[in-house]
Amino acid sequence: MMDFKDKAGIVTGAASGIGAAVARELVNQGGRVVIADFDEEAARALSQELGPESTAVFRLDVADPAANEALVAFALGTFDRLDFAVNNAGIGAPSTKLADIPLDSWSRVIDVDLNSVFYAMKYQIPAMVARGGGSIVNMASILGAVGWAGSAAYVTSKHALLGMTKVAALDYADAGLRINAVGPGFVSTPALEKTMTEQEMAGLAGKHALNRLARPEEIAMVTSFLLSKRASFVTGTYYPVDGGYLAI
């Protein structure tokens, strides 16, 4: 299916992991994608893989409001349209009890994982409204629904992201926008593999009913569905893709 033929959009944090899988899926379905990431070298490598005729690269600090505004302008200038966006970029932080979290660490996680999505939608939404509609997916987490000891900033940001997604969906439903959130379980990505031992990875896998970690492409397929016309009656929702994590 070529659900995204003649459509164009933005994926943030697109140089690796879930973001790269989303970009691949959208291009494979005929879309054109701005690969936005702080790691410009990795973003350009992905662009070469997917084809420069279907992709463009933008170096992005998602925590900078002006950079988010410039990204939307770049997408419009490159592809002359903005039909979809996936606000995927995010960071974690070392496990720390709440009262021991350094102030700068708290602020950085909130800036990158929450404020950045507000900045993104602030500029994405008017561009889509001007064209008569579009679709946005904000990448949340299963930790938008439950807690995780030692991760107060991350959990707070993902809970708040779900609320912001719902309100944005209500605010712009009559303008033809659909805005949803996806909540991945733990995903096997290079970032996770670099920070955890095999034993720790196995422990995480066991927290899911399917007894394994997700693959990035599994998150990408649900994300592309929500962006597509196949999900035309879906807005303001939170879709866990969690291998049964929340059911246990």
For each successive 10 residues of the chain (248 residues), what is the average pLDDT?
A: 92 97 98 98 98 97 98 98 97 96 98 98 98 97 98 98 98 98 93 85 96 97 98 98 97
What's the pLDDT score for residue 189?
Answer: 84
Decide: helix, strand or coil at residue 32: strand
235 close to 179: Cβ distance less than 8 angstroms: yes
Is the whole model's pTM more than 0.95, yes or no?
A: yes
- Cα(226)–Cα(144) distance, integer angstroms: 18
3 belongs to a structural domain: no
Domain range for 188: 8-247
CATH number assigned to the domain comprising residue 198 = 3.40.50.720
What's the pLDDT score for residue 66?
Answer: 98
Ramachandran angles phi, psi of 57, nearest 5°? -115, 135
The total number of structural domains that make up the chain: 1
124 belongs to a structural domain: yes
What's the pLDDT score for residue 70?
Answer: 98
Catalytic residue among 119, 154, 172, 239: 154
What's the pLDDT score for residue 98?
Answer: 98
What's the pLDDT score for residue 195?
Answer: 81
- Cα(168)–Cα(186) distance, integer angstroms: 26
238 belongs to a structural domain: yes
214 close to 241: Cβ distance less than 8 angstroms: yes
> Could you tell me the CA-to-CA distances from 34 to 106, 118, 160, 215, 248 in Å, in that order?
29, 19, 26, 22, 38
What's the pLDDT score for residue 114?
Answer: 98
Positive or negative CA dihedral for 146, 95, 20, 177? positive
Distance between first and last Cα of the chain? 34
User: Is 154 an annotated catalytic residue?
Assistant: yes
2 belongs to a structural domain: no
Q: Which amino acid is at 23?
A: A
